[in-house]
Chain A
Amino acid sequence: MTSVPLTHNQSLPADWRDLFALTKPRVMSLVVFTGLCGLLAAPVPVHPVLGFAAVLCIALGAGAAGALNQWYEADLDAKMKRTASRPLPAGRMTRQTALHFGVGLAVFSVILMDLAANHLAAAILAVSILFYVLIYTVWLKRRTAQNIVIGGAAGAFPPLIGWVAATGDISALPVLLFAIIFLWTPPHFWALSLFVRTDYANAGVPMMPVVAGVTSTRRQILLYTLPMIVAAIAPWAMGLTGWVYGAASIALNTIFLVLAFSVFANKQTEPKQMGPEKRLFAFSILYLFGLFAALVVDRWVIA
């Protein structure tokens, strides 16, 4: 479809499929999965309907944050190939529609979480939406190369919310789950930003490869991988999980470390020659799915 920058036929209502696309469904799948795993890893039984409602609220909250992110970043999205076909930059929707949809969805998800689970889970959900929209999107993303490091906290909330929805309190394991995703975000996102850095540079987004260069970003990917590995192995080392999680964690972290080292060793600067970066990015998604799946298997199957 031809891109029409930020113009829209005011008389034409937005297609519901575009409203759905505004919620970033692909990103939402990982958020829902980690939230569900946080809920299932909790040491208390959860009523299936309430558990479903809690995970639905996490999904709706993530969708609201995604919609508000696209509302605010419509100008940036229009400048990047990867995002130019989204509903707002492609001119298929007004910004006001996206804003109303995002705010409505956010309020609805928090109220429903409060009704279905508890006040603490609803409060953390509200904080995670506000953190993603205000701290990451509005404040950090256009100002500092550390945007992903601090903003990564927003994506780390779902397992914590899932756990709190089930138990009503916070303990060591959900904090470690938060830390794993928080420390996983920089290597994951910087691997992507290395091979799409031209897009970010054209849009004026100060991502790490644009500001600090390719070599420095590769070194930082490796450096952030080390504390991530410590956080990922800690639940088993501290006796909070069983051997299934321990074995899966050691295997997945070993592969992650090898791939991060191959990124560090790569000297190519052309995106087409960034095979190690693309492999690390693809594996990092599998890594998170595998680690959290192992946590649930450990809790439900082995226990």
Chain B
Amino acid sequence: MSPQPEDELGPGPGELPRPEDELIRKRQRERARVLALLLGAFVVLMFGITIAKMTINQ
């Protein structure tokens, strides 16, 4: 098995992360937050649709 290229290893112990790594983490955090919000909204919407359909069918 060949060793990983140096720039894919990430910062070693005690090393500061590169600015690009920080940007990647920031983007990932933002996307995770937005996705969590959308999933939460989706759950609420599905609940609402279910209740509405039950109301109509009664």
The chain A residues found within 8 Å of chain B, CB to CB, are 11-16, 47, 49-50, 53, 56, 115-116
Is B9 close to A, CB under 8 A?
no
B20 touches A50 (CB 8 A): no
Is B43 close to A, CB under 8 A?
no
Chain A residues, CB < 8 A from B24: 11-13
- What are the interface flags for B42-56 relative to A under an 8 Å C-beta threshold, 1 for contact and 0 otherwise? 000110110111011
A47 touches B34 (CB 8 A): no
- Expressed in whole angstroms, the Cα–Cα distance for A116 and B56 within the complex equals 12
In whole Å, how far is B17's beta carbon from the nearest beta carbon of chain A? 13
In whole Å, how far is A130's beta carbon from the nearest beta carbon of chain B? 24
B34 touches A53 (CB 8 A): no
A16 touches B52 (CB 8 A): no
Chain B residues, CB < 8 A from A16: 30-31, 34
Q: List the B residue with the shortest CB-CB distance to A13.
A: B27
- Expressed in whole angstroms, the Cα–Cα distance for A14 and B31 within the complex equals 9
24 A-B contacts (beta carbon < 8 Å): A11-B20, A12-B20, A12-B23, A12-B24, A13-B24, A13-B28, A14-B27, A15-B27, A15-B30, A16-B30, A16-B31, A47-B52, A47-B55, A47-B56, A49-B48, A49-B51, A50-B49, A50-B52, A50-B53, A50-B56, A53-B48, A56-B45, A115-B49, A116-B49
Q: Give the total number of A-B pairs whose CB atoms are below 8 A apart.
A: 35
- Expressed in whole angstroms, the Cα–Cα distance for A115 and B49 within the complex equals 8
Besides A12-B23, A16-B30, 16 new A-B residue pairs in contact (Cβ under 8 A), listed by A number:
A11-B20, A11-B24, A12-B24, A12-B27, A13-B31, A15-B30, A16-B31, A47-B55, A47-B56, A49-B51, A49-B52, A50-B53, A53-B48, A53-B49, A115-B49, A116-B49
Chain A residues, CB < 8 A from B45: 49, 53, 56
Q: List the A residue with the shortest CB-CB distance to B25.
A: A13
A49 touches B49 (CB 8 A): yes
In whole Å, how far is A280's beta carbon from the nearest beta carbon of chain B? 38
Chain B residues, CB < 8 A from A49: 45, 48-49, 51-52
- Expressed in whole angstroms, the Cα–Cα distance for A49 and B41 within the complex equals 13
In whole Å, how far is A52's beta carbon from the nearest beta carbon of chain B? 8
Chain A residues, CB < 8 A from B48: 49, 53
Q: List the A residue with the shortest CB-CB distance to B53.
A: A50
Chain B residues, CB < 8 A from A13: 24, 27-28, 31
Chain B residues, CB < 8 A from A11: 20, 24
In whole Å, how far is B9's beta carbon from the nearest beta carbon of chain A? 13
Question: What are the 5 closest A-B residue pairs judged by CB atoms, nearest first?
Answer: A49-B48, A49-B52, A47-B52, A16-B34, A13-B27
In whole Å, how far is B4's beta carbon from the nearest beta carbon of chain A? 14
In whole Å, how far is A44's beta carbon from the nearest beta carbon of chain B? 12
In whole Å, how far is B44's beta carbon from the nearest beta carbon of chain A? 10
In whole Å, how far is B10's beta carbon from the nearest beta carbon of chain A? 11
Q: List the B residue with the shortest CB-CB distance to A117.
A: B49
Chain A residues, CB < 8 A from B20: 11-12
Chain B residues, CB < 8 A from A56: 45
Chain B residues, CB < 8 A from A47: 52, 55-56
In whole Å, how far is A47's beta carbon from the nearest beta carbon of chain B? 5
In whole Å, how far is B25's beta carbon from the nearest beta carbon of chain A? 10
Q: List the B residue with the shortest CB-CB distance to A51.
A: B52
In whole Å, how far is A12's beta carbon from the nearest beta carbon of chain B? 6
- Expressed in whole angstroms, the Cα–Cα distance for A199 and B29 within the complex equals 38
Chain B residues, CB < 8 A from A50: 49, 52-53, 56
